[in-house]
Amino acid sequence: MMRWLCFPIDDEQIWKFRIALMTVVDNRSRFRMTVEQEVVPEPEDFKAAQAGIAKSLFEMPLFQSLPDKRKKELLKGDKLPFVQDDVIQSLPIDRESFRRYYRYLSAFVHTGTVSFFRVAEHGRGNGEKNPYEVAAIGGIMDFCSMILEVSMLDVINIQTRIY
């Protein structure tokens, strides 16, 4: 997300378009969080905020050029407004390696009932050191260092352009 939103691009209209779309997603997330905490949300405030952003989006030629179905999806704010593979493609990393790590980490976050049975099957999850988790930690650290390296280079490029 940092690369899609923060990495400098030459077209200011695209950057404003991206900021507006991320604001729609952010507002929707805040609204959901409020509802989940069982606090009475202020739907009128939320609707007003979304309407203001929608108005600015409808004035943008980039938004106007999209099919109506895509406009409707983006205005809901339920999904990130970019395709992850497009962002990965712009990075100096191997797409397939990234996808493998991403799927592996995603499996830890989005687990099902069978996953809990398999933890015990592999001698994991009991707080004891085991070969599987040591290897997993090493792999995750490798993945994180790859992402951090790319991110550092992006930040250095941003700083170079500013100063």
Is the model's pTM score more than 0.75? no
User: Are residues 60 and 23 in contact, defined by beta-carbon separation less than 8 angstroms?
Assistant: no
pLDDT per residue as tens digits for the range 90-139:
777 788 888 888 888 877 766 666 566 666 666 776 777 888 778 888 88
Answer for the pair 150, 93: CB distance below 8 angstroms, yes or no.
Answer: yes
Angstrom distance (rounded) from CA 31 to CA 147: 30
Q: What is the pLDDT of residues 29-57, one digit of tens each?
A: 888 777 777 666 667 777 888 888 889 99
